[in-house]
Amino acid sequence: MNFVKSSLCIALVSGLSFSAFADVDVYGKANVTVQSSDDGEGSFTEIKSNASRFGLKGSEKITDGLEAVYKFEFQVDVSDADSKGDNDDNISARNQYVGLKGAYGQVVVGRNDTALKQSQGKLDLFNDLEGDIKNVFKGENRLGDSITYTSKSYEGFKVLATFIAEDDVDADNGYSMAVTYGDAALKKSAVYASVAADSEVNGYDVVRASIQGKVESFKLGAMYQTQEKVDGSAEAGGYLLNAAYSMGKNTFKVQYQAMDFDDSDDKTAVSVGVDHKFNKNIKVFGFYSSFDMDNNVDQDYVGLGMEYKF
């Protein structure tokens, strides 16, 4: 299976003509950590690939004011293998879609992050690592059978909407909506904020409000979320607070996350870390993440890693 997947990817790239390939943006990143992990039964050492990926994306003009857009992104596990060095699951799908972009925004069809997932922007300081907010909060969904609309920016505001088709006569379609304000990278605005909601998405209804701001060398962020299973069997509410301080090429980070459940199965997560950037594409980093689970075993992780973007 691994050979087949790899062959398909190679064929996709090699099958493009040189003229077409010149219009394709090839990108990716490798993020790998060496870490001591304790999932509740004692610590062990492992090497993890943290959402390492490669992708192809581009666009083509159809008429004045209208163009076709596409993205085919794959996640690559560059570390995990069995005793023979084989791994049939080292390539998996990420965002993959095709669509249209024009004066009123963009519509894409395929597999994509939902509007609610996109609404967090770059708030999660430990995204893709053990301290990723998805380990406490629901709503971090990337789903197929979806249509996503993203509006143009109007006075800094954008509207995002996702429709998820449930290809089952007994299932309900899902809907995800978000309104955002500002620049998620905090380069064009000092504040980024959003309000988002999911209805019948991956088994949950979710409401989320997020805000992140920059003051000199500090970035401060907060998120509040409520979530409920669609069958009403579990309700919860929680929040996230974080801060990052940049000093030269170093960024120091701390993040706290808590979720209170109606059945007392509360969860909290604390992460601290530091990044050192060599340049805009290469960094090394370290982190410590700890999870306190009321009705489950506690978890602790310490890691050192490197990220290279291309």
Average pLDDT on 204-221 reads: 97
Residue 8 pLDDT:
44
Grade residue 11 by pLDDT with cuts at 50, 70 and 90.
very low
- DSSP secondary structure letter of residue 154: B
Rounded to the nearest integer, the mean pLDDT of the chain is 89
Q: Are 180 and 158 in contact (CB under 8 A)?
A: yes
pLDDT digits (tens, 9 = 90+) for 86-128: 556 788 999 999 999 999 999 999 999 999 999 999 999 999 9
Cα-to-chain-centroid distance, residue 232? 27
Cα-to-chain-centroid distance, residue 46? 22
Centre a 10 Å sphere on the Cβ of residue 249 and count the other Cβ atoms it contains: 11
Q: Model pTM greater than 0.85?
A: yes
Cα-to-chain-centroid distance, residue 65? 30
Contacts 24+ apart (CB under 8 A), 242-249: 242/123, 242/125, 243/218, 243/219, 244/125, 244/218, 244/219, 245/217, 245/218, 245/219, 246/217, 246/219, 247/217, 249/276, 249/277, 249/278
pLDDT digits (tens, 9 = 90+) for 233-260: 889 999 999 999 999 999 999 999 999 9
29: three-class secondary structure by DSSP: strand
